[in-house]
C-alpha cells in the first residue's frame, strides 16, 4: 500500500511516497533519476541493512556509494567533504543524482552536498528513520552544523522525490523511534489539535510499530508540514512555526555536544519549555502543560533540561539562533494546544528563570 503526497512549490514541486516495502518496487526510484550517474550517501548503521536493496534497483546506472560515520557529531564541513571526495574521484558530472539513504543527518548532508556540488545537482531522499520521514526529508532545508551553532551552514534545496519506506522503521532502535515521535507530536501542537488527540490515543500502537498506524502518522505529519512549506518555502514568516521547541532544543544539542542528546529529545525538552513559558505568560493553562508532558513521556521522551548546562551557557547558545531579529530571540510559543505563534513578547528573565 502506497500513499503519495505532493509538495507544491511551483517548478520545485515533488512527491512524497509513503508505504511499506517501497524499496522493493522496481521503478519508483529510477523514474526520478535523469542522468546515468548515481551516488548513494549512507552511513555505517544503514548500509548493512539497506544499501544492497537500493543498489539492486540501480544496476542500469554507473553507481557508487559513500558510507559515512553515523551520528549528529559527524554533520560538519569536514565529513561533508568526503562526499565531494567521492563525486570527484568518481569523475561524476553535473548530471549525477545524489541519493540520501539514512536518517536526518544523512539527508541534511546529502541535500547540502547536492546544492553545492558543481553549484547544484539533483538529489533524492530515502529516509530510514521516523524523524527523517516526518520532518527533515520534507521541505528542502539542508545544512551542516558548526561547533558554535546547529544547522548554521546550509541551503534551501528541494529533492526530486522522497521515498518513505515504513518497513525500514522495523530496524530502528527504540530511542530513535521516540526521537521521531517528538516531531510528530510537534505537528499536533502547532496547528492540528485533532491529530494531537489521535496521537494521545494511538501512542502505544506507534511505539509497537503498528505499520498502519505509523503510516497514518507519517502521512499526516508530512501533509501538515508540506502545507506550511508550500506557503513559505524560505521561512520569511509562517514556516518558523515548524521550529516549535527547536531554538531551545538546538541550544541543548549544541551545548551538550552533538549526538549526546538526540534531536527529537532536544525538541521534546524544548517544547516543554515553550509550554511552560507560554503558561507563565498566562497564554495556556497548567493542565495544557501537564497534557503535553504526559504525551511526551508516553512517547518515551525526556521533559527536563540537562543539569550539565548552566543558565549562562544556555542563554548564550540561544542567542545564535537563526530566528534572532534585532538582537531579540523570536520564540515559537503556544496560545493553545494546536495554536502556535511566533513571538518576541516574553521576558528574557522568565526564560532564564525557567532554565534555572
The distance of closest approach from Cβ of residue 313 to its own copies in the complex, given in angstroms and rounded to an integer, is 14
Helix (H) or strand (E) holding 125: strand 123-127
Residues 6+ apart with CB under 8 A from 90: 37, 39, 64
Residue selected from 55, 309, 320, 352 as contacting its own copies according to rule CB under 8 A? 320
Residue tagged active-site, from 37, 72, 183, 276? 183
Residue tagged active-site, from 141, 220, 293, 322? 141
Residues 6+ apart with CB under 8 A from 209: 169, 170, 177
Query: Residue 172 or 241: which CB sits closer to its own copies?
Result: 241
Pairing, β 141-146 against β 149-156: antiparallel
Residue 235 is among the residues annotated as catalytic for this protein: yes
Distance (Å, whole) CA 69 – CA 75: 9
Binding mask 286-315 for its own copies (x = CB under 8 A): ------------------------------
Identify whether the C-beta of residue 35 lies closer than 8 Å to the C-beta of residue 95. Answer: yes
C-alpha cell at 302: 525526556
The distance of closest approach from Cβ of residue 121 to its own copies in the complex, given in angstroms and rounded to an integer, is 10
Q: Exposed (0-12), middle (13-18) or buried (19+): which is 326, by Cβ within 10 Å? A: exposed
Residue tagged active-site, from 225, 293, 322, 330? 225
DSSP bridge pairs for 17: 4, 163
The distance of closest approach from Cβ of residue 55 to its own copies in the complex, given in angstroms and rounded to an integer, is 22
Binding mask 216-255 for its own copies (x = CB under 8 A): ------------------x---------------------
Residue selected from 24, 31, 89, 310 as contacting its own copies according to rule CB under 8 A? 89
Residue 216 is among the residues annotated as catalytic for this protein: no
Q: Establish if 9 lies at the interface with its own copies (CB under 8 A).
A: no
Residue tagged active-site, from 11, 119, 208, 307? 119
147 dihedral zone (left: phi>0; alpha: psi -120 to 50; beta): alpha
The distance of closest approach from Cβ of residue 77 to its own copies in the complex, given in angstroms and rounded to an integer, is 5
Helix, coil or strand: residue 288: helix
Q: Establish if 263 lies at the interface with its own copies (CB under 8 A).
A: no
Give the residue numbers annotated as catalytic, written as ranges: 119, 141, 183, 225, 235, 239, 243, 246, 250, 263
Amino acid at each position: 500500500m502506497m500513499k503519495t503526497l505532493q509538495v507544491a512549490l511551483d517548478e520545485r514541486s515533488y512527491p512524497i511516497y509513503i508505504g511499506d516495502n517501497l524499496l522493493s518496487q522496481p521503478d519508483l526510484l529510477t523514474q526520478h533519476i535523469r542522468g546515468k550517474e548515481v551516488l548513494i550517501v549512507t552511513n555505517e548503521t544503514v548500509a548493512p541493512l539497506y544499501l544492497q536493496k537500493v543498489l539492486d534497483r540501480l544496476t542500469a546506472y554507473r553507481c557508487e556509494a559513500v558510507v559515512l560515520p553515523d551520528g549528529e557529531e559527524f554533520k560538519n564541513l569536514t565529513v561533508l567533504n568526503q562526499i565531494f571526495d567521492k563525486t570527484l574521484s568518481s569523475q561524476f558530472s553535473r548530471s549525477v543524482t545524489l541519493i540520501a539513504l539514512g536518517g536526518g543527518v544523512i539527508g541534511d548532508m546529502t541535500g547540502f552536498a547536492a546544492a553545492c556540488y558543481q553549484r547544484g545537482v539533483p538529489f533524492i531522499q530515502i529516509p530510514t528513520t521516523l524523524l527523517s520521514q516526518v520532518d527533515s526529508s520534507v521541505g528542502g532545508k539542508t545544512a551542516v552544523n558548526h561547533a558554535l551553532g546547529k544547522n548554521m551552514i546550509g541551503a534551501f534545496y528541494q529533492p526530486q522525490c522522497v521515498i518513505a519506506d515504513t518497513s525500514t522503521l522495523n530496524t530502528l532502535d527504540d530511542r530513535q523511534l521516540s526521537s521521531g515521535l517528538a516531531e510528530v507530536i510537534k505537528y499536533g501542537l502547532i496547528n492540528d489539535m485533532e491529530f494531537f488527540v489521535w496521537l494521545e490515543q494511538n501512542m502505544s500502537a506507534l511505539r509497537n510499530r503498528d505499520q498502519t498506524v505509523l503510516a497514518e502518522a507519517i502521512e499526516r505529519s508530512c501533509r501538515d508540514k508540506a502545507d506550511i512549506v508550500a506557503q513559505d518555502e524560505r521561512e520569511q514568516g509562517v514556516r518558523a512555526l515548524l521550529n516549535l521547541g527547536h531554538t531551545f532544543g538546538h541550544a541543548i544539542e549544541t551545548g551538550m555536544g552533538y549526538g549526546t542528546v538526540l534531536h527529537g529529545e532536544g525538541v521534546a525538552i524544548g517544547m516543554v519549555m515553550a509550554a511552560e513559558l507560554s503558561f507563565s505568560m498566562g497564554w495556556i493553562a497548567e493542565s495544557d502543560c501537564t497534557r503535553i508532558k504526559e504525551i511526551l513521556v508516553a512517547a518515551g521522551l525526556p521533559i527536563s533540561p540537562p543539569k550539565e548546562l548552566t543558565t549562562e551557557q544556555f542563554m548564550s547558545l540561544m542567542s545564535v539562533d537563526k530566528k534572532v531579529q534585532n538582537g531579540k530571540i523570536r520564540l515559537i510559543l503556544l496560545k493553545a494546544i494546536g495554536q502556535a505563534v511566533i513571538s518576541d513578547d516574553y521576558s528574557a528573565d522568565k526564560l532564564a528563570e525557567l532554565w534555572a
